[in-house]
């Protein structure tokens, strides 16, 4: 009897949650219609034929946001400018994760201030994570009053409406909200024609004590699987070679949908992405060691079109520091996952993020981190000097001497250079399938490509290996043709962070 009642209550709760979600979906659809009306109006009012230039700071999530902003602007008739000097609108999509990103933003605003003196009609937009922090917005208000439009990362879908307000009334518009609404089916202009970024969720619930992201991007909100699958189908139809699924912590994807019919875990989502669409390569970023489970590793092992690469941010190798960082895993748990991943997935590259100089880090803690680096043998690591972010718990803790931290950072970099070089050298002599990215940044007789492990390779080719019609092309034209195509490459040499190779065969 009791059991039936509990079941009934669970069912009722599920229905209530479904109703709430349906209502949210209805408001998202209404919002899309509203914004579409503003888009049509803005086109005639100002946008048609005008040029925009977007500066993106920070991570791939921001890059993806910029692609949505570009999509909206182009839907209103605007076209991309080659540089800021020829633009009618400049958009600065900011990042707040470390202090230098904020510094670069204000530096660039200074440059735009000068530009604006000669061209008062230039519309300046500031958006992204930094706008969620009141002190920065205040600084813009006081010192950079020429900024026309300010909005937060959750407000991108409202760009048509906000721009309309600015165009109709010459006063600046400041709108930074923490709305949870996810508006689907917004237009998007992707930066690359072969690699697509796809955000599967927004925000983060983790509250690592050093990190500003949960404040800047709000709580976790997952897109519904159906919306993600629709986008995957579009990407497959458009013959994209690579899709990168993005989230601050992809392993907690779906947790907020748990009570509704839309629930799906990340391993299941990844499994569907790999098996139901014709997508040659699927990447994902980032995994939180706390939430990762064996199911995910098994899905990775099962599908060859999922990358042989796992980004597993360590942050610190000391349990004491991990605890003050509020990371919710112990070193033992972390190492267990890393070893299991290597055991289950052949030929896997593990990369990581590490913070040096977190408050209270002793030489012993630091040594423990170096030990983990040696034990896991990271193929690559992104190492950061701790940067106190106002509003986070760690910023209030006693800070270390910057000179000491710099010295630790150098020692850590040296070790990682050695580990990366060894990992690269181990690839020499192999033949690997690689996705071409175009002309190499180093030499114009080389082309760049990336392996499933995310190893970068600069390779040469012989004209006789190419189809007749490609042989007359200049290197940059050939680079553009090769972008997004797969090639089999023989690895002939290794540097610290890249490989050298010779093309064996062009595949697609």
CA 290 to chain centre: 19
Stretch that binds ligand SF4, among 114-122, 143-151, 199-207, 423-431 (CB under 6 A): 199-207
Residue found under tokens 């098994």: 298
How far, CA to CA in Å, does 416 sit from each of 66, 109, 160, 380?
32, 35, 46, 7
In terms of CB distance, is 268 or 291 closer to ligand SF4?
A: 291
Ranges of H-type helices in 218-330? 225-237, 266-276, 294-302, 319-324
In terms of CB distance, is 100 or 305 closer to ligand 5AD?
A: 100
The residues in 265-294 that bind ligand SF4, with binding defined as CB under 6 A, are 288
Least CB distance to ligand SF4 at residue 184 (A): 23
d(CA 173, CA 140): 12
Partner whose binding site includes residue 267, from ligand SF4, ligand 5AD, none (CB under 5 to 8 Å by kind): none
| Type and span of the H or E element at 500 | strand 498-506
In terms of CB distance, is 189 or 326 closer to ligand SF4?
A: 326
Structure tokens at 124: 């300046």
In terms of CB distance, is 97 or 494 closer to ligand 5AD?
A: 97
353 forms part of the interface with ligand 5AD (CB under 6 A): yes
CB-based contacts of 386: which residues, under 8 Å, 6+ apart? 210, 355, 356, 357, 358, 359, 394, 400, 405
Least CB distance to ligand SF4 at residue 311 (A): 11
Partner whose binding site includes residue 188, from ligand SF4, ligand 5AD, none (CB under 5 to 8 Å by kind): none
d(CA 326, CA 329): 9
In terms of CB distance, is 280 or 289 closer to ligand 5AD?
A: 289
409 forms part of the interface with ligand 5AD (CB under 6 A): no
> Do the Cβ atoms of 110 and 104 come closer than 8 Å?
no
Ranges of H-type helices in 247-388? 266-276, 294-302, 319-324, 331-344, 363-376
Structure tokens at 471: 């042989």
213 forms part of the interface with ligand SF4 (CB under 6 A): yes
Select the residue interacting with ligand 5AD from 218, 254, 267, 313 (CB under 6 A).
313
Task: Find the radius of gyration of the CA atoms of the chain.
Answer: 24
CB-based contacts of 154: which residues, under 8 Å, 6+ apart? 177, 178, 179, 180, 181, 202, 217, 218
Stretch that binds ligand SF4, among 206-214, 259-267, 337-345, 470-478 (CB under 6 A): 206-214
d(CA 46, CA 123): 11
* Site size with ligand 5AD, rule: CB under 6 A: 12
Partner whose binding site includes residue 387, from ligand SF4, ligand 5AD, none (CB under 5 to 8 Å by kind): ligand 5AD
Select the residue interacting with ligand 5AD from 277, 384, 409, 459 (CB under 6 A).
384
Select the residue interacting with ligand SF4 from 214, 390, 391, 493 (CB under 6 A).
214
The residues in 202-221 that bind ligand 5AD, with binding defined as CB under 6 A, are 210-211
In terms of CB distance, is 62 or 451 closer to ligand SF4?
A: 62
> Do the Cβ atoms of 388 and 98 come closer than 8 Å?
no
d(CA 408, CA 312): 21
208 forms part of the interface with ligand SF4 (CB under 6 A): yes
In terms of CB distance, is 216 or 264 closer to ligand 5AD?
A: 216
Least CB distance to ligand SF4 at residue 328 (A): 9
Partner whose binding site includes residue 412, from ligand SF4, ligand 5AD, none (CB under 5 to 8 Å by kind): none
Closest alpha carbon to 85 in 122, 48, 49, 57: 122
> Do the Cβ atoms of 214 and 97 come closer than 8 Å?
no
d(CA 107, CA 119): 19
Q: How many CB atoms lie within 10 A of CB 50?
A: 17
204 forms part of the interface with ligand SF4 (CB under 6 A): yes
Stretch that binds ligand SF4, among 142-150, 210-218, 258-266, 297-305 (CB under 6 A): 210-218
d(CA 415, CA 393): 30
Least CB distance to ligand SF4 at residue 208 (A): 3
Stretch that binds ligand 5AD, among 82-90, 269-277, 384-392, 415-423 (CB under 6 A): 384-392
Q: How many CB atoms lie within 10 A of CB 144?
A: 17
C-beta contacts of 167-176 below 8 A and 24+ residues apart? 167/42, 167/45, 167/46, 168/45, 172/145, 172/147, 172/148, 173/148, 173/149, 174/137, 174/141, 174/150, 175/150, 175/151, 176/131, 176/132, 176/137, 176/150, 176/151, 176/152
Partner whose binding site includes residue 206, from ligand 5AD, ligand SF4, none (CB under 5 to 8 Å by kind): ligand SF4
Partner whose binding site includes residue 281, from ligand SF4, ligand 5AD, none (CB under 5 to 8 Å by kind): none
Least CB distance to ligand SF4 at residue 255 (A): 13
The residues in 85-124 that bind ligand 5AD, with binding defined as CB under 6 A, are 97-98
211 forms part of the interface with ligand SF4 (CB under 6 A): yes
74 class by beta-carbon count within 10 Å (0-12 exposed, 13-18 middle, 19+ buried): middle
Least CB distance to ligand 5AD at residue 128 (A): 15
Partner whose binding site includes residue 355, from ligand SF4, ligand 5AD, none (CB under 5 to 8 Å by kind): ligand 5AD
Least CB distance to ligand SF4 at residue 204 (A): 3
If you ran DSSP here, which 8-state letter would residue 315 be given?
B
Binding site for ligand SF4 (CB under 6 A): 204, 206-208, 211, 213-214, 248-249, 288
Binding site for ligand 5AD (CB under 6 A): 97-98, 210-211, 313, 315, 353, 355, 384, 386-387, 389
């Amino acid at each position: 009897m009791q059991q039936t009642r509990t079941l009934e209550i669970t069912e009722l709760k599920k229905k209530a949650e479904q109703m709430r979600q349906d209502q949210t979906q209805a408001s998202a659809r209404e919002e899309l219609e509203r914004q579409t009306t503003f888009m049509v109006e803005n086109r005639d009012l100002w946008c048609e034929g005008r040029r925009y230039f977007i500066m993106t700071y920070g991570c791939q999530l921001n890059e993806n946001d910029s692609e949505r902003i570009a999509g909206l602007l182009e839907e209103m008739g605007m076209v991309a400018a080659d540089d800021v000097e020829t633009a009618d609108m400049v958009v600065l999509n900011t990042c707040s994760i470390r202090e230098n990103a904020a510094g670069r933003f204000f530096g660039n605003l200074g440059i735009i201030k000068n530009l604006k003196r000669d061209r008062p009609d230039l519309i300046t937009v500031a958006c992204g994570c930094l706008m969620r922090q009141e002190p920065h917005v205040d600084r813009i208000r006081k010192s950079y009053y020429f900024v026309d439009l300010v909005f937060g990362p959750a407000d991108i879908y409202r760009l048509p409406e906000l721009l309309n307000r600015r165009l109709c009334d010459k006063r600046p518009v400041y709108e930074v909200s923490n709305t949870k609404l996810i508006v689907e089916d917004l237009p998007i202009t992707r930066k690359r024609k072969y690699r697509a970024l796809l955000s599967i969720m927004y925000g983060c619930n983790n509250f690592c004590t050093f990190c500003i992201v949960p404040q800047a991007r709000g709580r976790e909100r997952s897109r519904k699987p159906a919306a993600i699958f629709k986008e995957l189908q579009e990407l497959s139809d458009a013959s994209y070679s690579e899709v990168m699924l993005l989230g601050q912590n992809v392993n907690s994807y779906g947790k907020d949908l748990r009570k509704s019919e839309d629930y799906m875990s990340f391993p299941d989502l990844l499994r569907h992405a790999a098996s139901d669409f014709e997508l040659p390569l699927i990447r994902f970023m980032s995994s939180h060691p706390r939430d990762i489970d064996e199911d995910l590793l098994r899905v990775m092992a099962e599908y060859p079109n999922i990358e042989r690469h796992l980004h597993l941010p360590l942050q610190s190798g000391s349990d004491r520091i991990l605890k003050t960082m509020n990371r919710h895993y112990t070193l033992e748990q972390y190492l267990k996952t890393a070893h299991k991943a290597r055991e289950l997935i052949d030929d896997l590259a593990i990369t990581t993020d590490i913070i040096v100089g977190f408050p209270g880090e002793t030489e012993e803690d630091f040594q423990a981190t170096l030990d983990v680096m040696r034990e896991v043998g990271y193929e690559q690591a992104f190492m950061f000097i701790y940067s106190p972010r106002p509003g986070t718990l760690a910023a209030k803790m006693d800070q270390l001497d910057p000179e000491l931290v710099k010295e630790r950072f150098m020692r850590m970099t040296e070790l990682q250079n050695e580990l990366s070089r060894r990992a690269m050298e181990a690839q020499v002599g192999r033949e690997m399938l690689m996705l071409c990215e175009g002309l190499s940044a180093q030499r114009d007789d080389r082309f760049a490509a990336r392996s499933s492990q995310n190893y970068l390779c600069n390779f040469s080719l012989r004209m006789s290996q190419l189809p007749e019609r490609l042989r007359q092309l200049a290197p940059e034209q050939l680079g553009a043709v090769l972008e997004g195509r797969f090639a089999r490459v023989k690895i002939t040499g290794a540097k610290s962070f890249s490989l050298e190779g010779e093309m064996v065969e062009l595949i697609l």
